[in-house]
Chains A and B, each alone.
Chain A
Amino acid sequence: MQINPDLNFIKYLKGAGGDTLKKCYQCATCSVVCPLSGDNKPFPRKEMIWAQWGLKDKLVADPDVFLCHQCGDCTAYCPRGAKPADVLGAIRAYAYTHYGFPSGLAKLTTSAKNLPLLIGIPAAIILILWYISGGMHLPAGEIDFGHFFGHWDFKYLAKTTMFIDIIMLPTVGLALFSAYKGVSTMWGKMCEGANADPVWRPSCGKFMRDFLWPSVKEIISHDRFNECGANKDRARGHKPLMLAFIGLLIVTTYSFILKDFIGIVVPSLHGPLSLWDPFKILANVSAIALIYGIYILWTNRSNEESESGKKGTFYDWFLIYEIAVVGITGILSELTRLAGLPVLAYFFYFCHLVSIMMLFLYMPYSKFAHLVYRTFAMAFERYRDSGFIAGKSEA
């Protein structure tokens, strides 16, 4: 067997939190103590040697890399301090960049050096549009973020709503397209790796029913997180955070439909929701859950880093900062709006828009990408064990 090690890949992993990977001596303790690893080709022992050998093509096509939840049991029992959990995290970070489209933007998201650009691009876009909109002045009277980008009398689509659409819809569109492209490439590679015959595939409906939906249900219930030993506490932060995102997604979708579609027929719907509107209540509860969740994850990670003395990675912290800023600016803009402080309210609202745009824009390349890649890897795991593939290998 000829091995073509990719030295740059090894270098990348070492820089991205996998600096310990060369310590591994293949005792396979990790594959046994991992609570998530199955009996057939368990992980992460094989991933460790592939990483040592620089076999990046094998790794980015390996569903097990994404099935890892970084419980840390492997790291706790590792006799060599090779920290398989961190190495797999670094491989995932690499994979998101590898599958990212456009690749320039994906690469930009990998380094703290690029933070001025990462923040600057969305900030400049919003600032320019704000300027063009003519809404860049302090409001007279009650603060209404519905007038942030100005106001006109065209009753079928509010001016601010239109500007928000101009900013967010292409951003979300790009993110969804990139995620789709990345996931479908990954799926193809995983099928190749598993020797799946692409001629015989499940229908879309069957795929959703048998593979994707059970995975989503499993993710929401946090079953795998709960099997974790060493880092069990993370589920305590991840669960409220994930539910908060689902809650905010519902509110945003509701608001989008309300303002962009129903608003055309019933113009009176424009304007902020009442504080006692059920959707507003959901939004506020979600905001608090989001801040609570990210607080737990933040403190967990900083405690873990101060205990182990290891340096945090940009990959891990960028997402934590992004979410924290989204949550904090959201809450602050609401509070300053209610308190009637226009300067602060507009400032925080601007920051809030920038941070939301960042979250969407960089979703497919940052750690946030686990949202799609892990979900589909879990679906692939079910697919791999189903009759579509499992039956084949016996034939």
Chain B
Amino acid sequence: MTDAGGASPMGAVLVVGGGISGMTVALEAAEVGKDVFLIEKNPYMGGRVAQLNQYFPKLCPPSCGMEINFKRIKNNRKVRMYTMTQIKSVTGDAGNYEVTLETTPRLVNNNCTACNDCVGVCPEERDNDFNFNMDKTRAIYKPHEMAMPMKYVIDAKACTKCGKCVEACKYDAIDLDMAPKTFTLNVASIAWSTGWNPYDPAKMDNLKFNESDAIITNMMMERLAAPAGPTLGKILRPGDNKEPQSFGFVQCAGSRDENHLEYCSYVCCMATMKQITYIRERYPEAPIYVFYIDLRTPGKYENFRAKLMDDPNTHFIKGKVADIVPEDDGSVTMVAENAVTGEKIRQNVDLAVLATGMEPAAQGLAAGFGAEVDSNGFIVSNEDKAILSAGCARKASDVVTATQNSTAAALKAVQASRR
């Protein structure tokens, strides 16, 4: 879209969070001519979608839809992107906010060409949080295969400032003395697209997440299935790298539960079904057991569900797993009552996947900066205050819904900026 009227924008938009929703808000607002500041806490854009192996609706790898968005951002001079940046304070009111931001030093500057020479000499290791700590990287590392910006980063907590990488770098790209940077922006509206975190599975003490390597979360499964993940796309059991002979899925692990997340996280049913297809590609005959309360497969996804249920080796059991027993041979036994037959089931599997839900990531933070937060921690859009919410910061949703309501949030941000 061309810049409407060519006039200078009346007010800029601050987008907090650079996942699929934040990028959508930023692009939709920028492509109608608004100045947009897009900030992201991580050293890379893309958020949770970047961690997926495939995503709905078409089961594309994230390199697909993401790459188009990255290109649009790179080509649009209206979007100014700041990684490793967080809000420090917000003052003012609708149409006239003054926001102070702080950028954590990346310790790597724009000279970086991602040649990888530094990694070879770095003696320190860190847990790779992108892969949910299932593997390690050096203290200087590439955030992930298709990171945007394609720049390395140094984990200041792991780095001992030995200087070996500085010597190895041919491009003078490493600056171990880089200081944090604080700066101020004037914006008309703020769009929160801070997304979600996987609900902490350790909080469900009966599911024993920390007591066995055979219990993983659905997001860990995404990384195990991803070609660039810790197992290069093979689905192996963490810890002993065994090829699992059987799989179990624990639906509603923390969702629809007033002791944890009160709401339905919306995506976990379809995520599990998607992950069944990952397993089937690699283990065509392995028995899979899905324990559920209800299945949420909206619209055309019903066909997807029906196809999976036709598989004689995939068993859907109505009944929530309320106990998992780690066994000596590394497997786990899932205990549930089949609510249809009334029998208690003890199903032993080599790998149990907890379909953990979505917890809004920035609830406390956003509330502290003037955003309205509902009882579940989701951010409520307030057009009068020109504080908007988009994507999973607004409600638990899939990528399609998130990008739709992000477009809506962009429109509201534009309107708020014109007032």
Using CB atoms and an 8 Å cutoff, list the residues of chain A in contact with chain B: 25-33, 37-42, 45-46, 77, 79-81
Contact flags (1/0) for B252-267 with A, using CB distance below 8 Å? 1000111110000000
Are B319 and A80 within 8 A (Cβ)? no
Binding site secondary structure of chain A: loop
- What residue of chain A has the Cβ atom nearest to residue B342's Cβ? A41
Does B115 belong to the interface (CB within 8 Å)? no
* Other-chain contact of B337, A25, A28, A79 (Cβ < 8 Å): A28
How long is the Cα–Cα vector from A28 to B343 in the complex, in angstroms? Answer: 11
Are A27 and B344 within 8 A (Cβ)? no
Does B322 belong to the interface (CB within 8 Å)? yes
How long is the Cα–Cα vector from A79 to B260 in the complex, in angstroms? Answer: 8
Are A26 and B293 within 8 A (Cβ)? yes
How long is the Cα–Cα vector from A45 to B346 in the complex, in angstroms? Answer: 17
Are B322 and A32 within 8 A (Cβ)? yes
Whole-angstrom distance from the CB of A308 to the nearest CB of chain B? Answer: 13
* Other-chain contact of A27, B252, B259, B342, B346 (Cβ < 8 Å): B252
Q: Which residues of B contact A77 (CB under 8 A)?
A: 206, 259, 322
Does B336 belong to the interface (CB within 8 Å)? yes
Chain B interface size band reads 20 to 34
Does B274 belong to the interface (CB within 8 Å)? no
With contacts A25-B293, A27-B293 taken as known, whether A32 is within 8 angstroms of B323 at the C-beta atoms is yes
Q: Which residues of B contact A29 (CB under 8 A)?
A: 320, 322
Using CB atoms and an 8 Å cutoff, list the residues of chain B in contact with chain A: 206, 252, 256-260, 293-294, 319-323, 335-339, 342-344, 346
How long is the Cα–Cα vector from A38 to B342 in the complex, in angstroms? Answer: 11
Are B293 and A32 within 8 A (Cβ)? no
Are A45 and B259 within 8 A (Cβ)? no
Are B337 and A42 within 8 A (Cβ)? yes
How long is the Cα–Cα vector from A291 to B293 in the complex, in angstroms? Answer: 46
Closest 4 CB pairs of A and B: A79-B257, A32-B322, A28-B337, A31-B337
Q: Which residues of A contact B336 (CB under 8 A)?
A: 28, 32
Chosen A-B contacts, 6 in total, with CB atoms closer than 8 Å, are A26-B339, A30-B322, A39-B346, A42-B342, A45-B342, A77-B259
- What residue of chain A has the Cβ atom nearest to residue B344's Cβ? A39
Q: Which residues of A contact B257 (CB under 8 A)?
A: 79-80
Are B339 and A33 within 8 A (Cβ)? no
Whole-angstrom distance from the CB of B340 to the nearest CB of chain A? Answer: 10
Are A32 and B335 within 8 A (Cβ)? yes
Are A79 and B256 within 8 A (Cβ)? yes
Whole-angstrom distance from the CB of B78 to the nearest CB of chain A? Answer: 46
Whole-angstrom distance from the CB of B205 to the nearest CB of chain A? Answer: 9
How long is the Cα–Cα vector from A77 to B322 in the complex, in angstroms? Answer: 9
Whole-angstrom distance from the CB of B365 to the nearest CB of chain A? Answer: 27
Q: Which residues of B contact A39 (CB under 8 A)?
A: 343-344, 346
Name which of A27, A33, A41 has the most chain B CB atoms within 10 A of its CB. A27
How long is the Cα–Cα vector from A26 to B257 in the complex, in angstroms? Answer: 12
